[in-house]
Structure 1
Amino acid sequence: MTDTLTPAAAASTDTEDVARLLDHEGVRVHDERLDPWIADVDAAMLRELYRDMALTRRLDAEGVALQRQGHLGLWAPAQGQEAVQVGTAWACHDDDFLFPSYREIGIELVRGVSPADFVMVWHGAQHSSYDPYAVAIANPQIIIGAQSLHAVGYAMGIQRDGGDQVAVAYFGDGATSQGDVNEAMVFAASYEAPVVFVCSNNQWAISEPVGLQARFPIAGRAPGFGIPSMRVDGNDVLACVAAMRWAADVARSGGGPAFLEAVTYRIGPHTTSDDPTRYRSAEEVDHWHARDPLTRVEAYLRRIGGFDDAFAESVTTDADRFTAAMRSAVVGAQPPAPLAVFDHVYAEPHTGIAEQRADYASYLDGFGSGGAA
């Protein structure tokens, strides 16, 4: 489909003008902007990055399987986007606060979100997933682009508290057409808020190719707001670590916001209710399969003697254990008591909620004993 785009529109999908440190074959290349930011990255750290990417892919596949088997209402696949998620999360400080959309499972894995918390919301068994303050990640946002405003507001709070943390807003290419993202960038630039915007350009906003809504590379928009930006290979985890370290340093050192466009690809459907074969070709998917972020790191690690059968086995064992815990949590999970819908709506007791709870309990009693349990 992209071969019908104008030259300007096709430029927004190009992957040859991006900053990268590992090429498509896993060969180390040099970039004067990025090289200084990964001087400390050795084989041991690369193995941990690979491990988190591999676990992200496996938990993603398990989420899809659980949805297909009727245990989850929906799942938003992330296959192909592991490098940008894991790499940027690794580059953040532990107390930096991250604001994801519904697809950033990789950043949640890096921050230690439990297996159960990846599935229980999609199962419909609880209001939200994890405790955001325990992992320094806001609960995933379904409204497209809304989390960008939340991140800027949090960053402005950091300023007022005199902290040195940064806030990070994650969103896709489609969200850049939303007013929320553009308004967030206006506020961030105006107040020099310590926030990093990470756009995962995965080429498709559901069925709309990025070239139709972004006729030039998305990273080029940010300077118009007065925000420095970088266009980086989102399938190169080394480049994603380096670019995020650069962007976070800009924000953390008082330079105001920074913007990253990570050029990647959504291998699977937009969600499990989508059929991508209706709007994109198998040849396009094959093209991006050849740029797989995991095989790229594996190839590089093998070149430097950092990947062997024992390591691969340990990664598989970790992934088996994690996905088994996901499945165990959700298969056979009991629905919450009906009145639990009123729990945790407000931090303090509230008369309006108490009245609604009483009305709903009375309604449930009409169905016989035990209805309001």
Structure 2
Amino acid sequence: MKKYLYLLCGLALVAILTFNSCFTSKAEEPSGEENTIIMTDDLALSLAQNFAESTNNTNLTALNPIKFYDSTGQAIGYIVEYYQNNIPHGYVIFDSRLDDLICEYSFEENSVSPYAACRQKCNVRSSIDSKIYKLDALTYGIQDSNNKLVTNSNKILDVPDTLENTRSKDPNTWNDIFINNIFPEYTVVDIGHLPTFIAFPESYYEQNTGHYACAVTALYHCAMFYGCVSGNTNTIRDEYMELWDLTGTTQTNQESQNGIIYGATNYNSSPAGLVTFCARRGVSLSSSVIANPTMETFKNSINSGNISNLSVGIYTDNGYEGHQMTVEGYTQLKNASTGNIVDTVMVADGWFSNVRYVNLEFPNYTRLHAILFSR
């Protein structure tokens, strides 16, 4: 079992992130756009370095600004990686479609960016300058030498028809990312998390059970939190398959890789499965499903000493999909310039074992459901 003691209490000190006007000298102001500037590599690095320092991560160095694109080939943001003593130590993602830019971040040692995760899985013959595409709110992909998209969600996808299609716009603008030239000041206004971060990567479940379903994985993390399982390799297969059956998870038509069976779970039926699973082990839980949850929903859960799940719906080029993750904490940032609050939840995404803080209000979700548990 891989657990991370998460010592983020330093973030509770009010942290000020100042994006001041000196940055404007690093960006070219486009003609006719008085209220916007073009985001550059240097500007992305400056924003990322300030973000790390403002959140008490002063020993981190921002490196490797990587521009990412939507599925039509339009540049929309930057991934910037953090290092400490030449060791990967997280990342921050700026998405120009968000008023407050911050899409997600992580400051954990050995936590790699979605770009690095994709590169690790790509065919070694892939070009080093392969573009990375944002496919949905959580998933990124790089086109490999076999004309497939290798994603950070451990899937190999067909390249969407829309990718790099002929565009009516001036091709010289496809790489331009416009952001507001009035940079906000951020403060951390609230933070909370469970004492221990619990996560197994997808590969652990696949190797030990021969199966994988995101909802079952998220619920297994919850069962670990409530002391019903330990993740021991001698028992995990039977426990995982018991949860699989109790939640009504069914095999999908996703192509099996190395004999792995993949499953899909209705988010409405998943909490009852965990309640029964834990009751069999002497732990009494209650559960509820909340549509369109607010940040207060997850704050109340964490602050009461409970764990929860976030189930999201997304539209991709392959149609409607869903994903379920374990929520183990939260951080709220305030944009002092506008008064906007950036709500981020601390999740175990079910694919890797590192922390992701993701923006709860990302616009590409087609649905949001909180799955809450209490004892």
Question: Which protein is richer in strand relative to its size?
Answer: 2
**TM-score of the pair, normalised by structure 1:** 0.24
Larger Rg computed on CA atoms: 1
Q: Which has the higher contact order (CA 8 A, sep 6+)?
A: 1
Report the TM-score when normalising by structure 2: 0.24
